Amino acid sequence: MTKISLLRSLRDLTARKAEKLCSKDKPHFKQFLKVYEKVVVDDLVEKELLSENIRLVEPILTAFAKQQSEIPIPFFVSEKQVSKIRVSSYWLEVAANDSDDWHHLYGKDLIRLYEALDDAGYLDNLE
Amino acid sequence: MKKIKLLRSIDDLAVNRHSRRSSPHASYFPVSLEDVKNEIVKDLTNSAIASENARMVKPVLIRYADTVSRCIPVMFKVRGHIETRIRHNEGYDQHGLHRHWVEVASDSGGWFVLGDEDMVRLYEALLDGGYLSELFK
């Protein structure tokens, strides 16, 4: 087992993520790190936006699923159309119309479903 | 139900956080949006560093618990309680993915999963005490 050098700063984190992309021996590594720092921060911000948006839309989709079990618009998850929605003990689940194979709805799919339902006006009268 | 506005940028995030902090019950000290933005980046960076460090030290702690000792030979407290035992456990998460984790317990208490920052603290304490040296040979 090799000894671990813990990360202490954004520069360390950037170097760690950049390691996979280029070698430290390369002459432009330092210059590359400076540019890459912004990429790392942008990536962190994007993940934070996703998790904050999930936190915002989850109660609304839960309220929607409690009110009706059908997804009234064409909606695809992993290229498969799903048309049923339900609230399980911990999360929202979706399934194809003719199937009892329920899948946990999470991440970007939650946001996509919220936006699609909102655009089509299905969330307007939600209590 | 109140209509929500999805957040699209760090500026949206900052406005969202800033409005919470500017409520009548929040701090009396005014903070600028730019300060809030910098804070967000700092928080995100710190938490990413903690989780990357935890990802790196977890295999070491697992190896320690599996091959060296199931005792914690250094003073290690979590939320004020001294934890003295360590073990490796595994199972499936909510997405059905197989995961490994590190659990600790006090002499008389039950086992619980060690969080990211605590894993790093335990790693550093064991390392400083020289208890990991045989793993790094």
User: pLDDT value at position B99?
Assistant: 93
CB contact under 8 A, B45 and A44: yes
- pTM of the predicted protein model: 0.79
**Stretch A79-106: mean pLDDT, rounded?**
92
**Stretch B6-20: mean pLDDT, rounded?**
90
User: pLDDT value at position A87?
Assistant: 95
Phi, psi of A113 (to 5 degrees): -65, -45
User: pLDDT value at position B113?
Assistant: 95
Pick B2 or B133 by higher pLDDT. B133
CA-only gyration radius of chain A, Å: 21
Domain boundaries, chain B: 10-44, 57-136
Strands B81-82, A80-81: pairing kind: unpaired
**For chain B, first and last CA: distance in Å?**
60
Distance of alpha carbon A52 from the chain centroid? 10
Question: At B75, is the secondary structure helix, strand, or coil?
Answer: coil
**The pLDDT of residue B22 is above 90:** no
**Stretch A10-27: mean pLDDT, rounded?**
77
User: pLDDT value at position B20?
Assistant: 76
- Averaged pLDDT score across all residues of chain A: 89
Chain A residue nearest residue B55, CA to CA: A6
CB contact under 8 A, B44 and A7: no
CB contact under 8 A, A123 and B40: no
B7 near B13, Cβ under 8 Å?
yes
**Stretch B63-79: mean pLDDT, rounded?**
95
Pick A125 or B122 by higher pLDDT. B122
Residue from the list A9, A16, A45 with its beta carbon closest to the beta carbon of B44? A45
**The pLDDT of residue A72 is above 90:** yes
ipTM: 0.78
User: pLDDT value at position A16?
Assistant: 86
CB contact under 8 A, B41 and A4: no
* Confidence bin at A89 (pLDDT 50/70/90): confident
CB contact under 8 A, A44 and B9: no
**The pLDDT of residue A23 is above 70:** no
Q: What is the DSSP string of B31-66?
A: --HHHHHHHHHHHHHHHHHHHHHHHHHHHHHHHIII
User: pLDDT value at position B131?
Assistant: 95
Written as six digits, the tokens of A10 are: 């954004």
**The pLDDT of residue A24 is above 80:** no
**The pLDDT of residue B128 is above 80:** yes
Return the residue in A41, A42, A89, A114 with the most chain B beta carbons within 10 A, the one to mutate for interface testing.
Answer: A41
Report which residue type is found at B130.
Answer: G
pLDDT digits (tens, 9 = 90+) for A45-61: 999 999 999 999 999 99
User: pLDDT value at position B29?
Assistant: 67
Pick the CATH number of B57-136 from 3.80.10, 3.30.70, 3.40.50, 1.10.260: 3.30.70
Helix, strand, coil proportions of chain A in percent (round to 5)? 50, 10, 40
Please enumerate, as own/partner, the contacts of A120-124 that have beta carbons within 8 Å and a separation of 24 or more. A120/A72, A120/A73, A122/A64, A122/A72, A122/A73, A123/A60, A123/A64, A123/B1, A123/B3
- Distance of alpha carbon A91 from alpha carbon A72, whole angstroms: 20
CB contact under 8 A, B12 and A49: yes
A15 near A31, Cβ under 8 Å?
no
**Stretch B27-51: mean pLDDT, rounded?**
88
Return the residue in B2, B6, B41, B135 with the most chain A beta carbons within 10 A, the one to mutate for interface testing.
Answer: B6
In angstroms, the separation between the Cα of residue B52 and the nearest Cα of chain A is 8
Q: Considering only CB atoms, which chain A residues are within 8 Å of B12?
A: 49
- Averaged pLDDT score across all residues of chain B: 90
Determine which helix (DSSP H) or strand (DSSP E) holds B90, and give its type and residue range. Answer: strand B85-92
B48 near B55, Cβ under 8 Å?
no
